[in-house]
Amino acid sequence: MEHETLFPLLCNTASGDKNAFAKLYQITSPQLYAVALKMLKKPDLADEATQDAFVKIWHNAGHYQRAKGTVLTWMVSIVRYRALDLMRYHKVRNEVDLEAEAIPDKPDNAQRFSAEQQKLEECMDELDQSQRQAIQLAYVNGLSHQEVVHHLSSPLGTIKSWIRRGLQSLKRCLSL
């Protein structure tokens, strides 16, 4: 999807093509919105983050650099950072119901994704469960260190070191 579809749409968006932008929205907004909703929990805040992200995407389409990642990665990063800003601005306190929210060891639909995706999964699998869980709670659910402390019932220092070491191991594994 990425190379054939999103990149040309983004290029055309950069030159002011509203149809291309509409198509880009149509294809990517469910993914971006889901990411925002997962982090922010509240639909009205997810609406706001998604709106802000697409306004920014329209204005900044020409700044995208292919060498720095896929179009989708670029777009998802924009909405994630906006969600983090909104959390701070609205002082969102993040709660995750761990019972209801069984964190999947692997995405259910893993087979649909690329070699990079599989590599990431393998590398995530190699982490200790606590490291993996802490990273997922922070990244996917948008939890702060303190909120991860609350959810995993371990001291702050431990949580920080799980995340830090988990990320180090992940990088080592991913760059092999």
Partner 1 sequence: MNYLIEERYNALAAEYVIGTLRGKARIRFQKLMMQYQAIHDATCLWEQYLEGLNHSVAPVTPPPKVWAEIQRRLGHADAPQAVPDQPAKPSRNPWQWTALTGLAAAVIVALFLIVPQKTAELPVSQVAIVSDNDNQPLWIVEVSRESIKVRVTDALAPLPDTDYELWMVPANDAAPISLGLLPESGSLLAAAPDFLFSDNIKALAVSKEPPGGSPTGSPSEVLYIAPLFKV
Q: Give the interface with partner 1 as residue ranges (CB under 8 A).
A: 18-19, 21-23, 25-26, 29-31, 33-35, 37-39, 43, 46-47, 50-51, 54-55, 58, 68-70, 72-74, 76-77, 80, 84, 88, 100, 102, 104, 106-110, 113, 116-117, 120-121, 124, 135-136, 138-140, 142, 144-145, 148, 163-164, 167-168, 170-171, 174
Give the separation between CA 148 and CA 163, rounded to whole angstroms: 10
Nearest approach in angstroms of CB 18 to partner 1 is 5
Answer yes or no: are the C-beta atoms of 163 and 134 closer than 8 Å: yes
Nearest approach in angstroms of CB 109 to partner 1 is 7
Q: End-to-end distance of the chain based on CA atoms, in angstroms?
A: 26
Nearest approach in angstroms of CB 56 to partner 1 is 10
Angle at which helix 18-40 crosses helix 7-14, to 10 degrees, equals: 110
Q: Amino acid letter at 113?
A: F
Nearest approach in angstroms of CB 4 to partner 1 is 18
Nearer to partner 1 among residue 107 and residue 157 (C-beta): 107
Nearer to partner 1 among residue 4 and residue 44 (C-beta): 44
Nearer to partner 1 among residue 62 and residue 69 (C-beta): 69
Nearer to partner 1 among residue 4 and residue 83 (C-beta): 83
CA-closest candidate to residue 45, choices 75, 78, 82: 82
Instruction: Indicate the helix (H) or strand (E) that contains 123.
Output: helix 115-126
Q: What is the token pair recorded at 53?
A: 């992200």
Nearest approach in angstroms of CB 35 to partner 1 is 5
Q: What is the token pair recorded at 42?
A: 């509240």
Answer yes or no: are the C-beta atoms of 159 and 124 closer than 8 Å: no
